[in-house]
Copies of this chain bind each other. A is one copy, B any other.
């Protein structure tokens, strides 16, 4: 099993995201220093409840913590950040409809729209 990778990542997260010692870190979860040591050295593995709490605490996903992926939540790849931003934007109905229409429009209309937008954006910058 992947106790080792989990331990490595836990240690990195504790060291880079906090100044906690093992003891201090353990206290936040009612765990003994030796327990954290066991985790970080790959000799033990916490149950799913603790894994979840760690993931919440560090704001990473469990797949990262468990060594299944290299993508944690907050150092997201740029693509992912863009996806999230778009997803968020889709919560605005006007924007959603607009994007959908754009995607379905013929290329000439797309190009025309882009030219227009470039124009009004640059126009805005001049005003500043």
The segment from A8-16, A18-26, A105-113 found at the interface with B is A105-113
Q: Does A102 contact B (CB under 8 A)?
A: yes
Contact: B95 with A87, CB < 8 Å?
A: no
CA–CA, A109 and B98, complex, Å: 13
Among B46, B63, B86, the residue within 8 A (CB) of A62 is B63
Residues of B within 8 A of A102 (CB): 117
Given A113-B120, A117-B113, A120-B113, A68 and B52 contact (CB-CB distance below 8 Å): yes
* 13 A–B pairs (Cβ distance < 8 Å), ordered by A: A2-B49, A6-B48, A45-B48, A45-B49, A48-B66, A52-B66, A61-B69, A83-B83, A83-B87, A101-B117, A105-B121, A109-B117, A109-B121
- 3 A-B pairs closest in CB distance: A1-B49, A62-B62, A98-B114
